[in-house]
A and B are shown apart, each in its own frame.
Chain A
Amino acid sequence: MKPAPFEYHVPDSIEQALDLMSQHADEAKILAGGQSLVSAMNFRVIQPSVVIDLNRVAELSYIRAEGDVIRIGSMARERHLEFDSSIAKRTPLLTEAMPHIAHPQIRNRGTIGGSIVHADPAAELPVLMLALNARLKAKNISGERWIDAQDFFAGMFTTALAPDEILVEIEMPFMPARTGWSFMEVAPRAGDYALMGVAVLVTLEKNGKCKKAKLVYLNAGDGPVDAKEAAKILEGEKLNDKLIESASAMASRKEINPFGNVHTSPDFQRHLANVLTKKALKQAMQRAEENLQ
Chain B
Amino acid sequence: MTQTFPVTVTVNEKKYKREVEARLLLSDFLRHELGLTGTHVGCEHGVCGACTILFDGESVRSCLMFAVQADGHALITVEGLAKDKDNLHPLQQSFWEAHGLQCGYCTPGILMSMIPFLQKNPNPTEDEIRQALSGNLCRCTGYQHIVDAVKLAAEKMG
Q: Is the CB of B22 within 8 A of A109?
A: no
Chain B contacts for A41, CB-based, 8 A? 23
User: Does A263 belong to the interface (CB within 8 Å)?
Assistant: no
Q: Does B25 contact A (CB under 8 A)?
A: yes
Interface size class of A (residues with CB under 8 A): 20 to 34
Q: Which A residues are in CB contact (< 8 Å) with B135?
A: 102-106, 191
- Name the one of B5, B45, B113 contacting A8, with C-beta atoms under 8 angstroms: B5
Choose from B21, B45, B69 the contact partner of A39 (Cβ within 8 Å).
Answer: B45
Dominant SS at the B interface?
A: mixed
B28 to A35, Cβ gap below 8 A? no
Is B65 part of the binding interface, using a Cβ–Cβ cutoff of 8 Å?
A: yes
A79 to B132, CA, bound (A): 14
Q: Which of chain A's residues have a CB closer than 8 A to the CB of B60?
A: 105, 108-109
A53 within 8 A of B: yes
Shortest beta-carbon distance from B49 to chain A in Å: 7
State which residues 72-120 of B face A: CB under 8 Å. 113, 116-117
Given the contacts A42-B44, A104-B59, A108-B59, A34 and B64 also touching, CB distance less than 8 Å: yes
- Report the nearest A residue to B21, measured CB to CB: A1
What's the Cα separation between A53 and B66 when bound, in Å? 10
- Whether, in the assembled complex, A286 has its beta carbon less than 8 Å from a beta carbon of chain B, the answer is no
Instruction: Evaluate contact between B22 and A190: CB separation under 8 angstroms.
Output: no
B58 at the interface (CB under 8 A from A): yes
| Chain B residues with CB below 8 A from A8, complex form | 3, 5, 22-23, 66, 68
Decide: A103 and B65 in contact? CB cutoff 8 A.
no
The docked-state distance in angstroms from the alpha carbon of A189 to that of B131 is 9
Q: Once the chains bind, are A1 and B28 in contact (CB under 8 Å)?
A: yes
Beta-carbon contact of A106 and B45 below 8 Å: no
Using known A-B contacts A108-B59, A191-B134, determine if residue A39 contacts B46 with beta carbons closer than 8 Å.
Answer: yes
Query: Does A266 interact with chain B (Cβ within 8 Å)?
Result: no
Contact A189 to B25, CB < 8 A, known contacts A8-B5, A53-B69: no
One of A3, A79, A189, A190 near B23 (C-beta < 8 A): A3
Is B61 positioned at the interface, with any CB of A under 8 Å from its CB? yes
Asked whether A42 lies within 8 Å of B63 as measured between CB atoms, the reply is yes
Least CB separation from A8: chain B residue = B22
For B20, the closest partner residue in chain A by CB is: A1
Chain B hits for A108, CB < 8 A: 55, 58-60
Q: How far is the CB of B31 from chain A (nearest CB, A)?
A: 11
Mask, A100-126, CB within 8 Å of B = 1, is: 001111101100000000000000000
Which 5 A-B pairs give the minimum distances between C-beta atoms?
A103-B135, A8-B22, A39-B45, A190-B134, A108-B58
Which positions in B face A, CB cutoff 8 Å?
A: 2-3, 5, 21-25, 28, 44-46, 49, 52, 55, 58-61, 63-66, 68-69, 113, 116-117, 130-132, 134-135
Add 4 more A-B contacts to A1-B21, A108-B59 (CB < 8 A).
Answer: A2-B28, A4-B23, A41-B23, A109-B61
Q: Which residues of chain A have a CB within 8 Å of any CB of chain B?
A: 1-8, 10, 34-35, 38-39, 41-43, 51, 53, 55, 79, 102-106, 108-109, 189-191
